[in-house]
Amino acid sequence: MSRADRETEKGDARMLKEMIGRKSEKTKNVIERGAVKKFAEAIGDDSPLFTDEEAGKQSVYGRNIAPPTFPVTFDSGSIPGLNLPPKGLIHGEQNYVYTRPLFVGEEVHCWIEVKEYYERTGNFGKMGFLILTRYGEDAEQQLLFTEERIVIINEAARKEMER
Amino acid sequence: MSGIGQMEVGETLPVIQLEPVSRLDLIKYAGASGDFNPIHTIDAEAEHAGLPGIIAHGMWTMGNLAKLFTPYLGEGFIETYSIRFKGMVFLGDVVSLEAKLKEKDSEKQIFDVEAVNQDGKKVLAGSLAFAVLKNQPPAAQGS
């Protein structure tokens, strides 16, 4: 490895480490009935609780709910300075924690935070692990869910970020 | 609907075997989720990324896996859902979805969940906590 390469590597690590703790602006979303229906169809989940108004009313929730992975559709704004490469990213993990299900028709205010960044050297060279947490609150600022996404960034992709 | 609350530790939910993965499945998921990374829909882009062909979105498989709990959503809701992606899903793969009750108390049940392909290889695995409601809807705020 040349000295220039080593310098670049240090630069990458520093840049991503500096992002830890940075957050996006809260962004308002409305859970649209049509979007929930389309999403439920795309994962082949035919629960009437997602789409059938009457079934929703009769349920313990008194309304329709959204599937647990629906937050992938939410706009959470963007983190200034965090420009992930379009290629070379591997989705490692995804973790949800809910205080209650999401309701069709409600407002959800979302933002993302860079929770952690670290590097490990393994069989495929040095990999970066970036932990991004998305938060969602209701209109009264009550936390509804967190969504943690662990993204693995390979060496080539980290170099790409420097360009 | 009877009984996720009555399950015993070690019992499994009925396995769901998905239809072979089709390109249209992934195009639909791209549209519904907003994830248009072309390695999931366009052969040339997948090959350019060093893959033998297009692969399913990990979140497509994770979204499907939650279907195991669909019959029980009237009894409770998915409180935590954690997945580690372990292998790629290719076109034509036949994915089976499985859940086994690992622990339970009066309020929640914790399942080991996984999706395996036709060769028995795990493509994702993790854990899901199902919160059992006692005829009390969770606090409905803001609407």
pLDDT tens for B1-18 read 458 988 999 999 999 999
Out of B70, B136, B142, the one facing A47 most closely (by C-beta) is B70
Residue B5 Cα to chain centre, angstroms: 20
- Token pair 């840049």 is found at A15
Residues of B in contact with A35 (CB under 8 A): 32
Compute mean pLDDT per 10 residues along chain A, 163 residues long, and list them.
51 79 97 98 97 96 97 96 82 97 98 96 86 97 98 78 60
Could A94 and B59 be called an inter-chain contact, meaning their C-beta atoms sit closer than 8 Å? Answer: yes
Q: Enumerate residues 6+ apart whose C-beta is below 8 A from A24.
A: A76, A77, A78, A79, A111, A112, A113
What confidence score (pLDDT) does residue A157 get?
Answer: 73
Contact between residue A121 and residue A47 where contact means Cβ atoms under 8 Å apart: no
Interface A:B, Cβ pairs < 8 A = 127
Q: Which among A39, A46, A139 has CB closest to B32?
A: A39
Strand, coil or helix: A138: coil
Question: Residues of B at the A interface (Cβ-Cβ below 8 Å)?
Answer: 18, 25, 28-29, 31-35, 37, 49, 58-60, 62-64, 66-67, 70, 73-75, 77-85, 126, 133, 135-143
Sign of the CA dihedral running B49, A12, B83, B73: negative
- CA–CA–CA angle B133, B134, B137 (5° rounding): 60
pLDDT at B143: 42
Domain ranges of chain A: 3-30+75-161
Q: Are A43 and B63 contacting, i.e. CB atoms less than 8 angstroms apart?
A: yes
Bridge partners of residue B78, in order along the sequence: B130
CA distance A61 to B71: 15
The partner residue sitting opposite B137, judged by closest CB among A49, A61, A98, is A61
Kindly report the nearest CA distance between residue B139 and chain A, in angstroms: 8
As a whole number of angstroms, the distance between CA B5 and CA B42 comes to 44
Residue A100: list chain B partners with CB under 8 A: 77, 138-140
Q: Which residues pair with B124 in a beta bridge?
A: B85, B115
Task: Give residue B138's pLDDT.
Answer: 56
Please identify among residues 36-55 of chain A the ones whose CB lies closer than 8 Å to any CB of chain B: 38-39, 41-47, 49
**Interface contact flag, B83 A107, Cβ < 8 Å:** no
Contact B138, B78 (CB under 8 A): no
pLDDT for the residue A79: 94
Rounded to 10°, the helix A33-42/B23-33 angle is 150
Cβ–Cβ gap A92/B67 under 8 Å: no
Quick check: B140 and A61 CB within 8 A? yes
Quick one: pLDDT at residue A123? 78
Q: Is the pLDDT of residue B85 over 60?
A: yes
Per DSSP, which regions of chain B are E strands? 16-17, 76-85, 96-104, 108-116, 122-132
- Alpha-carbon distance of B129 to B14, in angstroms, equals 17
Using an 8 Å Cβ cutoff, are A151 and A161 in contact? no
- Higher-confidence residue: B135 or B67? B67
B70 and A46 in contact by Cβ < 8 A?
yes
CATH of domain B11-20+57-132: 3.10.129.10
Classified by CATH at the fold level, domain A3-30+75-161 comes out as Thiol Ester Dehydrase; Chain A (3.10.129)
Strand (E) or helix (H) holding B32: helix B23-33
Residues in CB range of B11: below 8 A, 6 or more apart: B100, B101
Q: Which of A60, A97, A140 sits opposite B137 (nearest CB)?
A: A60
pLDDT band at B136 (very low <50, low <70, confident <90, very high): low
